[in-house]
Chain A
Amino acid sequence: MTDCAPSSTPRQVGNHHDPAPSNHHGNAVLDEDAQIIAAVRNGEQEAFGQLVVRHGDRLYASLFQLSNRDPELAGELTQEAFIRAFERLDRFAGHSSFFTWLYRLARNRALDILARRRPQALDDAILANNAVDERRPDAGLEQSETAQVVHKALSRLEAWQREIILLRDFEDLGYPDIAAALEIAEGTVKSRLNRARQALRQAMEDMGGCP
């Protein structure tokens, strides 16, 4: 095994593969969202608060990572997205999940802002000070060298590259959901994801890490 091999126990290669990507947010979640949305449409606007509770953290975390861990920008984008969602709820047809729609409302503005910024790697101090989430059993992974290199390389990518990788690996969205969020075809999702992953490997290599 070379120095670049991960220190964690490798899975067996050759006769096992992960299940196909899928959205871990099941139908029950979608049904509950649909009920809440119906209530808001019927005039119970306070029910919208439930959507904020249900999806606020997830959207904020996603935008936090997309914006290279900028809490102010993530907060601003999250607020804007929810307000726009509230104002346009009549137009939500339910063909995609509420979260996907919400994310779509946020992403154009996010990418527009991020496009004006030069890609900038995260500061080592920020990475070192990352708090470990003790609620997750795999939280220690963040402290590994590989994880830090990945995080840093991710921050050097262009926003669209970081976005599609985050949607797949951070949000655990399946290809159909990513296609809906980005409004592109599934085939395009795969090709863009491959290019983004290639850029990530290259960035890691440039940083002297393992690709």
Chain B
Amino acid sequence: MTLTEDLHDLIEAYIDGEADPALWQQALAEHGTTLEEAVMAARARRAAIAALDRPSLPPHLQQALRSHTVASQSPSRSLGLLWGLPLLATAAVLVLIWQLDWMSAPTAIDTDLDDQPLAIMDRRTEDQDLPVFESHDALIDHDETRPSPRSRQQPAVAADSEAPLLGDETELALAAEPQAAPPPALDEAQEEPLTDEALAGLRREAEAFREDIRARPRRMPAAPQTLSRAAKADPPPPSTGLAAVMQLLTTVDGMRHLLVVIHNGGHESLTSEALDLRLEGLDADGRKIWSQAPANLDELLLEPDQSHTMQLQLGRDITPPARVTALRLAFGSQQSETLELDVETDP
């Protein structure tokens, strides 16, 4: 007598202690010995798998690994040495932008993060409303240091607004809540109180950093480790002036969301057709194996100096296959840097 797949599933649930007792008794009454034998066979299969041989890591590999890590700089130390200056400059730029340009109403991110359930959101606001996401690339194409005509009062950020949403590893907190704890590397660079003198110093550093960015080739090198979750787009052609940033964040319920912010830093309006935005998935070897256009962009019209935010839940709004290990944003012939998906994403 052959058991149905449903009964086999019931048997597995029974072995796991998760079968409904009434259902099990009913099945037992109907199938009797056949069911009992199937249970024994299932247990035997599990036992055979549990008893598969477990070879040890060959000693030479273990030794090689230990040698490698001892010889290498520790993650935190190497980060400080390799990326200290760029991070300091980045932090300076971020602080400067925050101080000068975005001191008014709650940011789009603030309100976005309050909106549950999460979905693709269309937040087009006048001028820059997303401080951190307006990264170096955006700075190239427009003058971000001009004094804002708007009020310089603190953004009305509710400290709790991100609390239910953000995982502890996301850097988004820095964007939505300047007073909140930023990521470690930025934190170190941002500890000094912002006196006028310090601000002037930061301005100089920002200018130097901007000059450095201008001097670099069009394609940016890989972002530092602590910023690698925020993938920046390549500087767009001057005629387009589009800047984009992607960021991955994990909600407390374990869901992962991709935050995409695009900013029109040019002088012409951009339609969705002109933008031709696509999310592309790369496998471990860096090959593009997946592409998906963000939904609900048909009516997008991005005026100069406007930003647009999309928040996409992985597995719901976008469904890259399991072999996709990194994402990037493509617009026209431009591609952002990749955003790795296999960083710490504990649910």
Contacts and interface: CB of A to CB of B under 8 A. Distances in A.
B342 A108 contact: yes
Contacts of B66: 46, 48-49, 52
Contacts of A161: none
A111 B226 CA distance: 27
A108 B344 CA distance: 14
A194 B79 CA distance: 44
Contacts of B70: 45-46, 48-49
Contacts, number: 232
* Interface secondary structure of B, over-half rule: helix
A108 B325 contact: yes
Given A60-B56, A197-B8, A93 B322 contact: no
A46 B66 CA distance: 7
Contacts of B5: 194, 198
B47 interface: yes
B184 to A, nearest CB: 7
Contacts of A211: 41
Contact of A10 (B14, B36, B323, B346): B36
A56 B65 contact: yes
B22 interface: no
Q: Which of B19, B25, B36, B40 has its CB near the most chain A CB atoms (within 10 A)? A: B40
Contacts of B239: none
Contacts of B225: 87-88, 90-91
A28 interface: no
A57 interface: yes
B345 interface: yes
Contact of A40 (B50, B74, B315, B346): B74
B43 A109 contact: no
Contact count band on A: 35 or more
B51 A5 contact: no
B28 A13 contact: yes
Interface in A1-40: 1-2, 4-6, 8, 10-11, 13-14, 17-21, 40
Q: Which of B18, B57, B75 has its CB near the most chain A CB atoms (within 10 A)? A: B57
A128 B209 CA distance: 65
Contacts of B12: 193-194, 197
Contacts of A197: 8, 12, 42, 45
Contacts of A94: 346
Interface in B152-182: 167-169
A120 interface: no
A41 B50 contact: no
B288 interface: no
B342 A104 contact: yes
A107 to B, nearest CB: 9
B333 interface: no
B37 interface: yes
B17 A79 contact: no
A119 interface: no
Interface residues of B, number: 72
B76 A41 contact: yes
Contact of B50 (A92, A96, A172, A184): A172
A18 B16 contact: yes
Given A13-B35, A90-B184, A93-B168, A141 B323 contact: no
B61 A142 contact: no
A207 interface: no
A45 B72 contact: yes
Nearest to A183: B345
B230 to A, nearest CB: 13
Given A8-B44, A141-B48, A150-B49, A83 B68 contact: yes
Given A56-B62, A197-B8, A151 B52 contact: yes
B9 A194 contact: yes
B148 to A, nearest CB: 34
B89 to A, nearest CB: 20
Nearest to B9: A194
B215 interface: no
Q: Which of A111, A144, A197, A198 has its CB near the most chain B CB atoms (within 10 A)? A: A197
A12 to B, nearest CB: 9
16 contacts: A5-B37, A6-B43, A10-B40, A17-B19, A41-B76, A49-B65, A56-B65, A60-B58, A61-B54, A86-B75, A88-B344, A90-B76, A150-B45, A180-B346, A198-B8, A201-B8
Interface of A: 1-2, 4-6, 8, 10-11, 13-14, 17-21, 40-46, 48-49, 52-53, 56-61, 64-65, 71, 75, 78-79, 82-83, 86-96, 101, 104-105, 108-109, 111-112, 115, 130-131, 133, 136, 138-139, 141-142, 144, 146-147, 150-151, 154, 160, 165-166, 169-170, 172, 179-180, 182-184, 193-194, 197-198, 200-201, 204, 210-211
Given A5-B37, A48-B70, A194-B9, 12 more contacts: A10-B40, A13-B39, A20-B16, A56-B61, A83-B65, A83-B68, A90-B184, A91-B169, A95-B346, A96-B346, A109-B325, A146-B44
